Amino acid sequence: LDDNGMEDDVNASATKANFQYAITKWAADADNVILYLTGHGGYKSFRMGATEVISATELNTWLDQLQNAIPGKVIFILDTCDSGSFIPPLAPPADKERIIITSTSQGQAAVFISQGAISFSNYFWPYVFNGYSLSDAVTMSKNALSLTTPQQVPILEANGNGVGNEDDDFTRIQNMALGGGIRLAGSVPTIGSVSPDRTISGTNTASFSAE
């Protein structure tokens, strides 16, 4: 996965037991933890391997155990169908910060088109790697999906009240970035104007422009 020529990228098989151990034991000496899952999901469930399914309730129990052991926050990012259904069950313990980002609202399908080129993850992670704040990365990914797959609406829940995409959710993480990032030289490009709509007749070609 990291192109170093060695098969050292996978630490353990994808089982519920190994996943629980990674969250509750292996990560228990960290300051902050980022957890990213993508794959097959359903209503308050995530498929782990061919036969096992993790419920949102189970995951919440493991995350609570982790957050009672670490001093910092947990950032949970989930890109599956119906990932928005995880938001209410994953409320953090009292006085703990848990940021939840889901690629869909409850009941929606997660789209992976053109080998994943059109997907929440493929929009979101490049913004993160390029140094944008977590708030901006979610907002711009949400805007990109509104143009390509408007039936899919990502959710950000950052204030612990179980209701996503509130102004307060985005404000709380406006200055939060993941990793070192890359210093930006300017703002992301925007489209200022496009050719007007028109109807063509008697031909199958036309010119158009965007600035």
Distance of CA 144 to the CA centre of its chain: 14
Mean pLDDT score, 160-169: 93
CB 82 within 8 A of CB 43: yes
Say yes or no to pLDDT of 15 above 90: yes
The Cα angle at residue 129 between residues 135 and 146, in degrees rounded to 5: 50
The reported pTM is 0.83
Say yes or no to pLDDT of 185 above 70: no
Say yes or no to pLDDT of 188 above 80: no
CB 56 within 8 A of CB 90: yes
Numbers of helices and strands, H then E, in the chain = 5, 7
CB 109 within 8 A of CB 81: yes
pLDDT on residue 8? 85
Say yes or no to pLDDT of 12 above 60: yes
**Residue 162 and residue 115: Cα distance in Å, rounded?**
32
Q: What is the pLDDT of residues 27-75, one digit of tens each?
A: 999 999 999 999 999 999 999 988 999 999 999 999 999 999 999 999 9
**Residue 5 and residue 10: Cα distance in Å, rounded?**
13
Mean pLDDT score, 121-150: 92
pLDDT band at 184 (very low <50, low <70, confident <90, very high): low
Neighbours of 79 (CB within 10 A): 24
